Amino acid sequence: MLKILNIVGARPNFMKVAPIYAEMKRRSADFEPLIVHTGQHYDAAMSDTFFTDLGLPKPDVYLGVGSASHAVQTAKIMLEFEPVVLREKPDWVLVVGDVNSTIACSLVCAKLGIKVAHVEAGLRSRDRTMPEEINRILTDSISDLLLTTSQDADENLKQEGIPVEKIRFVGNVMIDSLLRNLKIAESSTVREELDLTGKDYAVLTLHRPSNVDEKEVFTGLLGALLSISERLPIVFPAHPRTLARIEEFGLAERVASSNIKLVEPLGYLDFMRLYSGAKLVLTDSGGLQEETTALGIPCLTLRENTERPITIEMGTNVLVGTDPERISKTAFDILNDTEFGRNAKIPPLWDGKAAERICDVLLAQART
């Protein structure tokens, strides 16, 4: 039996670990899975909601590191996680994504000689000003098993000199969660509560420091969003940090008098119900590019680069940067084009069975 520590730290991790944990529990003769929550996203209400929505149990270990600078947070996670590894003596530590918890726990294991499996390995934006890109590169360089979502990620790893025997193309576990919960999310009443039933609307997420912390950039983005909202309402579940910047930059009145509807951050199922009915999604996040591709929903990514180029090559994602004119023009072109996305495809192995393949690979590794 393999003892696996599954690391979660931020909300995107929860969606990736949930189907893996469920599959390990289903194979109880082969796996003893534990969940370690670093507390990187520490707001109890939101974390508890996501755990409940995803069917995750209370974490076996909660480190409670909280918010801090990248260096302090990474160091705190390492300090708190090392005793856990020494006590539990796992066969594998499974990390997901690209947050500080991912690299911090991987570093601890590398120093202690504990094997690390990285889910969502090989993604590259080619932008090292992004903290997530540094986390991705470093985690991949010290992991023992690299589990990829797409074949371009395999190629990235090979070009970086990663031995091919460490790389396994397993598909996208985020889509496992999406397909598993899409029907369940139909019970959410969020569309009715927001008076969106039977109406066209857009959904916006915006939280990256490069977009919301610089007044000129944020003001430009808002100008484009205001223009688009004249065509169809935009629902904006706003991060508290983003709300603070709206107030700080004196933008609250413009938003309040517009067709942009600010709402509190939503739980996993409510948010899925919201964006799955949208005519258009605008985002600077990573996972939403994948989910909209799987559902065939037009998505504008408000960034200059993406670590998920397959969503552009095969799906419905369009990289528009932060130029207001380009954002507005692209949005209106899509809304006016009834053929947009007609030839889009779901990438290979985005079939809801990635967790099964991940477990198969871990068992195969144990037999070698």
Catalytic residues: 207
What 3-state DSSP class applies to 67? coil
Which residue is it, tokens 């099964």?
356
Residue 137: name the closest of 113, 159, 169 by CA.
159
Distances (CA, A) of 15 to 51, 55, 114, 206: 9, 10, 24, 19
What 3-state DSSP class applies to 145? strand
- In which element (H, E) is residue 362 found? helix 354-367
As a whole number of angstroms, the distance between CA 131 and CA 119 comes to 18
Residue-by-residue DSSP string for 270-301: HHHHHHTT-SEEEES-SHHHHHHHHHT--EEE
Length of the chain: 368
Backbone φ and ψ for 109, nearest 5 degrees, come out as: -65, -40
In sequence order, the β-bridge partners of residue 148 are 121, 169
Sign of the alpha-carbon dihedral angle for 24, 28, 30, 32? positive
Interacting residues of 152 by C-beta distance below 8 A, sequence separation 6+ = 122, 309, 310
Q: At what angle do helices 268-275 and 173-185 cross, to 10 degrees?
A: 80
- 2 within 8 A of 28, measured Cβ to Cβ: no
Interacting residues of 169 by C-beta distance below 8 A, sequence separation 6+ = 148, 150, 151, 153, 154, 349
Residue 98: name the closest of 135, 144, 137 by CA.
135
